[in-house]
Structure formats: C-alpha cells, structure tokens
Structure 1
Amino acid sequence: MKQLLIVLCMLLGILLPYGQVLTPTIRYSVMLLLFWAFLDMELNWQVLKWRHLLVLAAIIVFAFGCWAALAGLDRELALIGFLTAICPTAAMAPAITGFLRGKVAFTTFAVLLNSCALALLIPLALTALLPQAAAVATTEVLIPVLLLVFLPLAVALLFRHFVPAGTRFLLQHKHWALYFFLLNVYIATSKASHYIRFESHIPPGRILLIAAVSLVVCAGSFLIGHYLGGKGLRLESSMVMGRKNTMFGIWLALTFVNPVAAMGPMFYIIFHNAYISWQLYRLPPLPLPQR
C-alpha cells in the first residue's frame, strides 16, 4: 500500500507540478521526520558494535566509489550516484528491521550514528565534488546540514525529558509521519518535473540513465551491507546500508545541485521500497502457538 501511495504521489507531481512552489518546505519536513524518529530512540553507547563502524565506512567508501567509477564518463551522473549512495540510514529502518524479525537495537543505533557522522562529512565532500561553476564554501553547506540533523536531535531529547505526555502522544501517532513523507515526495517530484519541462531540456534517455544509476546504488548498498553483516547481522547491516533517508538526499540535491540530481534519490525510493516489499512478502509466517 505504501509503495502504491509513493508511486501515486510521484505521478501526481509529474502531471500536476504545482507543488514545486513548496520546495523550501522540504527542509522543515525532513527536520520534523527526524525529530519524530529521534523521539523514539535511546542514546545507549553499550549497543555500539564494530560492525556499526564497518557499515558506516562502507557507505562512505561506496559513495566515493560511485563517484570515481562515473566521473570519467559523466560528472553529473557521478554526482547523482554519490548523493544517492551517501544518504544516511532512514528513520524507518528500525521499524522495518522489526517487521523482518531482526535486531532492532542494532539498526536504531545506526540511524543515530550515521545521521550524525555523515552530517559532518557530507558538506566537506560535496564542496569538493561540486562542479567549479556551482562551487560553494564549505560553511554554506556545513551549517544547514548540521542544523538539519542536530537541531531535531537536540529538540527531541529536550522534548522527551520535559514533555513526557506530549512524547507519548506523538509516538502513538507515528503513522502521521508517512503523510509528511508523501507530501515531500510530491513536492520533490513537482520540482523535478517543472525543471525538466520549463527550465532545461532533459531527454528521456537521460532520465533512464539516472534511474539505472539509482538502481545500481540500491542493489549495491543492500548487497554490500548483507556481506558485511557476517552470520549474525546480515539483515540488519543490509538494512542500515540499503534503507536510506532519501529525503535528506533530495534536499541536498535541490539545495546545492539541481532538481535533476534529486531524481537519483527519488528513483531510489521506488527501488528500496520494492525490495523491502519483496522481503516482507517472502517472510515465512510465524508458527502457530501450541495448545
């Protein structure tokens, strides 16, 4: 059902791209989604495992590997590959890990670790990789990215401590976050559609190439994560590396690159949701309790 709603929002953005005027609101929606996610997470350093650091390093190496593999052929595609691969772990990853009967604590800590670590790294990397014509100072990227991640984290910690009743209410209605996510999908698709129609001339073949890059990044992320998980954490590591905060990548692309670059993370939304839907479908049913 969620997959269908995502596709419908993307089609709506393509056919009725009026949502592009709301593009500046994506930043605040992402902050709200992160706040909601952090509200339900405990900062417990005892959960930290060396595989957390291994998967984090793999995300970084894979993102730069995508850049290096494509930069000699097409620098724009290389940047799209990097932006898609470098996205931190999605806030929904722990919930999906639970649905798949995995270790939720491992995935939960990875969301916090990867969001904070990549928020520090991405501004430095992005300013180095951007074309000279679009170059920006590191602080121009660093400050917005740090605010995007650390402000929701700080507010969530304070809110949980001082407003426990409000925290319980918001956690009971976590499903509301899906509507903000779908709104972001519509707005981002509207912006990309408007840009392609009226501000540039992108041939259909180019869009297919972007989709292909996104598909390779998606498959590579899940496969590498699965391999790095070893015998005990294959599912969890695969989810940490493959289930990405695509809205973070879309915001980066729209803010610092161009709407075409945002298409990489947008295609990724379809691919990683399709894969996870397949995982849930093939999950064997739980045995009935013995009477």
Structure 2
Amino acid sequence: MGYNIVNKIKSYMMPIAMITGVLLHRYMDALGFLTPYLIASMLLITYCNISFKDIKFSRLHLWLILIQVFGCIIVYLLLLPVNPIIAQGAMICVLAPTATSAPVITGMLGGNVESLTAYSLLSNMTVVFVAPILFALTGEVDASSFIHSLWIVFQKIFILLFLPFFGALLLQKLLPRVHYEIQKAKSLSFYLWSIALVIITGKTVQFISDQESPNYIVEISIALAALIVCVAQFFTGRRLGSRYDNTVAGGQGLGQKNTILAIWMAQTYLSPISSIGPGAYVLWQNIVNSYQVWRNRKNL
C-alpha cells in the first residue's frame, strides 16, 4: 500500500515540483547555490551505476554528438537575427547533454540501454569542452576578455561534470564499499532531481517577475522554440538510430535532455530569461516520453 502511494506521488512529482517552485519563487534565490551540488550528486550516483568496462562507442554516437555540437551552433546563428535571448534559449536545449534518467525510459521502451548509457557519458564529457567556448562567444559572461570568459566557465563546468565521473572511478577502485552503497541509493537521484526542479523553477519565475519591462512575446517564443527543438531532436535521433538498428536509444540520446543542468547553465552563463527554454523543455520532453511509453504499452 505504502509502495503504491510513493509510486503515485513519483508519477506526479514533476508538476508538483514546478508548482512548488512557482509558489515559493521568492525564497528560491537563497537556495540557488545548492543546484550545482545537486547536479553533481545526481551525476555521481549515475556514474557509480555504470559499468565502465561495458561502455562501447559506435558510429551512431559520433553522429549524435556532431548533431548536439553543430546543431546548437546552427540553431543559435539562425535565431540570433530574430532575438539573441530566443537564440540562447533554443541553443541550450540542443547543447544540453542526455538526461541521467534517459536509460530508464530507454529500458521501458525496449531500447538498447548500454548504447544510451555510453552516449550519455560521451555527451556530458563533450559539454565540458564545448559549453565554455559557446558561452564565452555569446558575450553574456562577465569577464574582461574572451580567454578570461572561457576560463571562468570552463573551470566551473569541468568541476561540475568531470569530478563526479572521476569520483566514481576512484570510489570503485579505492572504496568499493562506499561505491556499492551509492549504487544501492540510486533512487535518491529522483528526489535530488525534484528538489533541484523546485529551485530552478522558482529562480526562473523570479527572473521573469523581476523584469522592469517584460516582453511576453519573447518569452512565449522561447517556449515555442523549445517545443520545435524538442520534437526535432526526438525525430532526428530516432530516424538516425533506425539506420543502426538502435531507434529508441537514438531518440532518447538526442531528445531527452538534462534540463536541470541546462537551466542552471542558462541562468548562470546566459541571459537568465533564456532559461525559459529548457524550463519549457522539461514539459515538452515529458509529454513526448509519456506518449512513447503509452504507445509502447498499447502495442505489447
């Protein structure tokens, strides 16, 4: 009975977390410092549950990573003449790495979990090196020069994304008991994600409410751009994956994003309003995933 109640709450946690963030948005700025720690903790739990010796990269992964890197640049350049903030909001939705929960959905859809896990690792490591360059080029980072801007972003993102990976390897080698205990606590990741979603939703709402002259057309356009990007990425990933007999992993790898990380990066290194993009992407990708799971169960 208790287990069913917990599962029921879990299924509604995304809207609960977002509504909580909206209602308590005035208090979320004080908790903003927790977000990178929550992200790092989620990644550490994820990496501790990966068998690195089973990681195998394929040609599909190469194509997906090229789309992730060059796709975000193309989207940004196409939308930049329209509005820089819309361009940033769409760009971050493409650049963001694969979600830590993507292997779970991939398994539910009968996809290749090992392939998706390998791509998730690759996409996170790629962001470590690509994101600082792109964020520095936008000119939003408060720094005296491009190189200074590059270094400011790189050191934080490197620590945030690489340290959990390195930490998981060290724990596996030096402290296997601790590594095992973290593996057992993988459900904790979901609760950390929920807390992070409350904080970043609240911060996004606060950024919007603090605007002196809000432009709702721009904000709606960012959300719509995120919708188009979301559908395009799932579609492209699935089409590309089908060529390598890996349809589900291709779609989830390219389409299901680490939106918590994306929102944090947008709020930290881009125009804060651009975080509406990945904020809306949370909703869009959950609608796509819910439809895919429903259709898959219907066809069983």
TM over 0.5: yes
- Structure 1: distance between partners of 2:55 and 2:21: 44
Shift of 1:149: 0.9
The question of whether the paired residues in 2 share the 8 Å contact of 1:3 and 1:273 is answered with no
Per-residue displacement from partner, 1:163-222 (whole Å, max 9, x unpaired)?
A: 323323222221111111111111111112122223443243333212101101111111
Confirm or deny that 1:250 pairs with 2:263. Answer: yes
Distance in 2 (CA, whole Å) between partners of 1:60 and 1:86 is: 6
Classify 1:260/1:49 alpha carbon distance in 2 versus 1 (closer, same or farther; 3 Å): same
1:108-152 alpha-carbon deviations (Å, 9 max, x no partner): 111111111121111112111235988761101111111111111
> 1:6 aligns to what?
14
Which segment drifts farther, 165-174 or 80-89? 165-174
Task: Summarize the alignment of residues 1-291 of structure 1 with structure 2, pairs less than 5 Å apart.
Answer: 2=10, 4-17=12-25, 18-44=27-53, 47-131=56-140, 137-231=149-243, 232-284=245-297
| Per-residue CA distance 1:206-252 (angstroms, 9 max, x = gap) | 33212101101111111111121134011111110001111221111
Secondary structure, in 3 states, of the residue corresponding to 2:264? helix
Structure 2 CA distance for aligned equivalents of residues 198 and 104 of structure 1: 43
Gaps of 5+ in 2: 1-7
Q: Judge which range, 106-115 or 42-51, deviates more.
A: 42-51
Opposite residue 86 of structure 2, the aligned amino acid is: L
- Size of the aligned set, in residue pairs, is 287
- Other structure's SS at 2:287 match: helix
How far, CA to CA, are the matches of 1:114 and 1:138 in structure 2?
A: 19
**Separation in 1 of the partners of 2:197 and 2:20?**
10
Conserved? CA contact 1:191–1:259, under 8 Å: no
Structure 2 residue matching 1:202: 3-state secondary structure: coil
Root mean square deviation, CA, Å:
2.0
SS at match of 1:262: helix
State the secondary structure of the residue aligned to 2:96.
Answer: coil
2:135 touches 2:270 (CA, 8 Å); kept in 1? no
Q: CA deviation at 1:54?
A: 0.7
Q: Deviation at 1:42?
A: 2.4
The residue type paired with residue 24 of structure 1 is: F
> Cα gap change, 1:159/1:123 in structure 2, threshold over 3 Å: closer, same or farther?
same
In structure 2, C-alpha distance between the alignment counterparts of 1:202 and 1:217, rounded to whole Å: 24
Render the CA deviation track for 1:244-272: whole Å, top value 9, x for unaligned.
11122111112112331212111111111
Q: Which sits farther off after the overlay, 162-171 or 84-93? A: 162-171
Counterpart of 2:272, as a letter, is P
Report the 3-state secondary structure (helix = DSSP H, G, I; strand = E; otherwise coil) of the residue aligned with 2:12: helix
Structure 1: where are the runs of 5+ without partners?
none
Deviates more, 1:271-280 or 1:257-266: 257-266
Contact 2:110 2:248 in 1 (8 A): no
How many percent of aligned residue pairs carry the same amino acid? 24
Deviation at 1:162, TM superposition (A): 2.5
Question: TM-score if structure 1 supplies the norm length?
Answer: 0.92
**Per-residue Cα deviation, 1:60-117 (whole angstroms, up to 9, x for no partner):** 1221121122111111110111111100111111121111111111001111111111
Q: For the residues of structure 2 that align with 1:198 and 1:117, how far apart are their CA atoms?
A: 34
> Does structure 2 retain, via aligned residues, the 8 Å contact 1:3–1:274?
no
Contact 2:142 2:149 in 1 (8 A): no
